[in-house]
Amino acid sequence: MQSRSGKLALITGASAGIGKELARIHASRGGDLILVARRLNKLHELKSELEKACQVNVHCIECDLSQENAPEEIFNEVKNNGLQVDYLVNNAGFSIQGYFDEMDWKIIKDMIMVDVQATVKLCHLFLPMMKKRGHGKILNVASSAAFAPGGPLQTMYYASKSFIVSFSQGIAGELDGTGITVTALCPGATNTEFEKVSGLDKTDLFSIEKAFPAEQVARDGYEAMLRGDMVKLSALTALNKFVLKNMNLFPRKRVLQQIKARQERKD
C-alpha cells in the first residue's frame, strides 16, 4: 500500500492523457489536487472519480493556456483560495502536423503560449512560494523529441520540447540545495489524444511504432519527480533508446529526412 503524500499538486492539461493519469496516481497516494484544463466538464468528471475513490480534495480551474494572462489567473485563484502548491506539474501541450510556413500564425502562436510560455510563467509565479517554504517539486512534461536535431512537419513541437528540457535543467541547477527539484519527463510515443489532435495518428510515427500506455508514462514521471531526477526518459522501445543514445553518430541531414518520413500523413 502506498503511503499518503499529504501534498497538493497542480496539474495542467489534466482532463486527459498523461495529465489525467498523473492526477490519478497522486490522488491514490492521498494527495489533494488542483486540476487545470479547458474542458471543465472533463475536470468535474475526474474530480468526482478521485474524491469518491481516494477521499481527497480536488479543485478545478477552467483555463485556456493559450491566453496571455492564463498563468496569472491560475496563480491568483490558487492564492485567493489559500492553497499552497507542493508539486507543480506543467503537462499541457499540443501540436499540429504540417509545414511551418503554411501554418496559420495563430496556431503557431498558440503552440508557443501553451508549450513554452505557460510552463515558464507558472514556474516563475510558483517558485518564490516554494523557495520561501524550503520545499517543492516541479515536473515539466517534455518529449524524447527534445533530443533530435529537429522535427520536420513538427518543427515548433520539437523546438518547444528542446527548450523545456534545457529550461528545466537550468533552473534545477539554480535551485540546487534549496529543497526544490525540477524534473523533465521525456516520453516517446504515448497513447493519448495528442496523436489525433496533432494529426500524427495517420503517420508512421504512431501506426508503426509501439505507443505506450499513458498510465505507464505518468508513473515513470511521477516517481522521477519524487526522486528529484532532472531528466526521465519513458515510453521508448529498445531501438528508440539505441537511436537516442547514438543520435550524434548519424549525419544530421539523414536524421531529419528519417524524422520527416515518419511524420508524413499516409491518407
CB under 8 A, 24+ apart: contacts of 246-250:
247/147, 247/148, 247/149
Q: Is 115 exposed, middle or buried (0-12, 13-18, 19+ CB in 10 A)?
A: buried
Using an 8 Å Cβ cutoff, are 203 and 266 in contact?
Answer: yes
Instruction: Show the 3-state SS of 57-90.
Output: CEEEEECCCCCCCHHHHHHHHHHHCCCCCCEEEE
- Cα angle vertex 188, ends 183, 192, to 5°? 95
Distances (CA, A) of 70 to 64, 67, 80, 266: 6, 5, 15, 36
Which is catalytic among the residues 87, 99, 157, 222? Answer: 157
- For the record, the C-alpha cell of 209 comes out as 511504432
C-alpha–C-alpha distance, residues 63 and 38, integer Å: 5
Residue type, 175: L
Burial class (CB in 10 A: 0-12, 13-18, 19+), 30: middle
Looking at the DSSP bridge assignments, the partners of residue 180 are: 136
Q: Is 149 helix (H, G, I), strand (E, B) or coil?
A: coil
The question of whether 222 is a catalytic residue gets the answer no
Give the residue numbers annotated as catalytic, written as ranges: 157
